[in-house]
Copies of this chain bind each other. A is one copy, B any other.
Amino acid sequence: MQIGLIGLGRMGGNIARRLIARGRHDVVVYGRNANEVETLGREGATAGSSLKDLVERLAAPRTIWVMLPAGPVTEDHVSELGDLLSSGDTIIDGGNTFWQDDIRRAAELREKGIHYVDVGTSGGVWGLERGYCMMIGGDKAIIDRLDPIFATLAPGIGQIPQTEGRDGRDPRVEQGYLHAGPSGAGHFVKMVHNGIEYGLMQAYAEGFDILKNANMDALPERHRFDLNVPDIAEVWRRGSVISSWLLDLTASALAKSEALETYSGFVDDSGEGRWTVNAAIDEAVSADVITAALYARFRSRKDHTFAEKVLSAMRHGFGGHTEPPSPEPVGQSKNHPTSS
């Protein structure tokens, strides 16, 4: 079927490619980067020269997939599309939008007769080949009409074993896409997905850190190990309880560079982890692990925190401790009888 696609970054470009290559869909694209538009044009997409031009190239009822950075950029484009589109048309937001924004937008657009579908899209740069896992929010009738799009983007059953006891359940789920609920539900589920992702990543990261430091000088010599971290990551992929796709990626990175020296250790966060914690708090659910993972990222982006200086000031206050101006080698700390 025909679909417009706005935003041709790492995700959007590959979504266009998969729609064209696997689904023979008629894809009209528009993005800020003229090179990328042109490239996709050569790969079978119709190139739009502006948002307006893209809209005009689509037959009613139009469907436009917006794949842009969440926040103001997406907001502006959805808003502009709301003015350009007509009753019966549909806007899909496939980015990582905050789910409460979806609820608001859907209500605003509904007044114009425009449908709004929020799609949490997982798969990253691998989606072109591996397919995208999609969590979808919006009206059932519209989502059913868009089924050919979702079916093409989804990974399909592939070689992943089927789960027993799913007879009678929605078969689309096994293809890799889910109508999660009304507007906002798609991004809500995707948000929790990313919150879990933070926790999983941090669990692996801590484990590898413990392995890496198992040979530190501060340990008694008989309790030290020089461990081969890349080999450990690899062996865990095979038959262990903790095998996962994230572990596959880690093993791959470690095989290239045991010390991961090309990474600074500065770790960004992209919003969903924060919103997941906010949701947990609204529900009075204890989300210790997801929150700790988020905070570890916050901390990774700072040289030192004011909190740490407050700690040093207190220690100086009660014990006369003078924290060293530059860090000593880390590890087993000396014991001071003056500590309190």
Contacts and interface: CB of A to CB of B under 8 A. Distances in A.
Given A68-B337, A287-B295, A337-B11, A123 B312 contact: no
A196 B204 contact: yes
Q: Which of A94, A174, A339 has the most CB of B within 10 A?
A: A339
A271 B125 contact: no
A337 B163 contact: no
Given A124-B340, A165-B252, A133 B289 contact: no
A163 B95 contact: no
A116 B222 CA distance: 16
A84 interface: no
A139 to B, nearest CB: 15
B312 A267 contact: yes
B163 A288 contact: no
Contacts of A226: 181
A22 to B, nearest CB: 13
Contacts of A207: 192-193, 195-196, 199, 276, 290
A169 B325 CA distance: 29
Contacts of A282: 218-219, 223, 332
A240 B285 contact: no
Contact of A302 (B132, B259, B330): B330
A210 B249 contact: no
Contacts of A200: 199-200, 203-204, 242, 244
Contact of A270 (B74, B256, B339): B339
Contacts of A244: 200, 242-247
Nearest to A213: B283
Contact of A309 (B227, B263, B293): B263
A239 B337 contact: no
B196 A267 contact: no
Given A189-B211, A210-B285, A265 B305 contact: yes
B338 A9 contact: yes
Nearest to A339: B270
A90 interface: no
A282 to B, nearest CB: 6
B301 A296 contact: no
A168 to B, nearest CB: 11
A17 to B, nearest CB: 15
A49 interface: no
Given A178-B232, A202-B311, A252-B317, A286 B268 contact: no
Nearest to A299: B286
A253 B317 contact: yes
Nearest to A100: B223
A88 to B, nearest CB: 25
7 tightest A-B contacts by CB? A199-B203, A265-B304, A244-B244, A249-B317, A70-B335, A176-B238, A95-B337
Given A12-B337, A123-B239, A164-B256, 14 more contacts: A7-B337, A125-B338, A163-B234, A164-B255, A189-B227, A193-B207, A199-B206, A202-B288, A205-B314, A207-B290, A209-B307, A265-B308, A286-B305, A298-B330
